[in-house]
Amino acid sequence: MNPDIKKHLYDVEVSITSIYTYLGEKKDFSDYLSNKLLRRAIEREIEIIGEAINRALKIDPNLQIENARRIVDARNWVIHGYDKPIKMDLLPLFQFSDLEP
């Protein structure tokens, strides 16, 4: 595997682990919504995940990453749509109870 792709995928793994750590055992979406500090931390990790996937796909457009387009869209929403309500089609990406470190 291309070393840059490996680095980007490692960054994704680190960010997912970080989100899991931030949320702790509870992993409750209402905590995300009500806690600005938690929300900002998770949103930063979503930015990193989306950007890393986007960069990996630019290196190898045939790289198979489940929901890659939606993950990149989530990153774009966090960065460019910060003042808009969460898009309902992005909610499945926020199923924190499904995250595994």
Residues, the chain: 101
Largest CA distance in the chain: 41
Predicted local distance difference test score (pLDDT) of residue 15: 94
Contact 87, 77 (CB under 8 A): yes
**What's the CA angle centered on 21, arms 32 and 86, to 5 degrees?**
25
pLDDT averaged per 10 residues in sequence order, the chain, 101 residues:
95 92 78 84 91 96 90 86 61 50 43
Task: Give pLDDT, residue 97.
Answer: 47
**pTM (predicted TM-score):** 0.79
CB atoms within 10 A of CB 84: 8
CB atoms within 10 A of CB 24: 10
The per-residue pLDDT for 30 is: 77
Confidence at residue 35, expressed as pLDDT on a 0 to 100 scale? 86
Domain positions in the chain are 3-94
For residue 101, the model assigns a pLDDT of 43
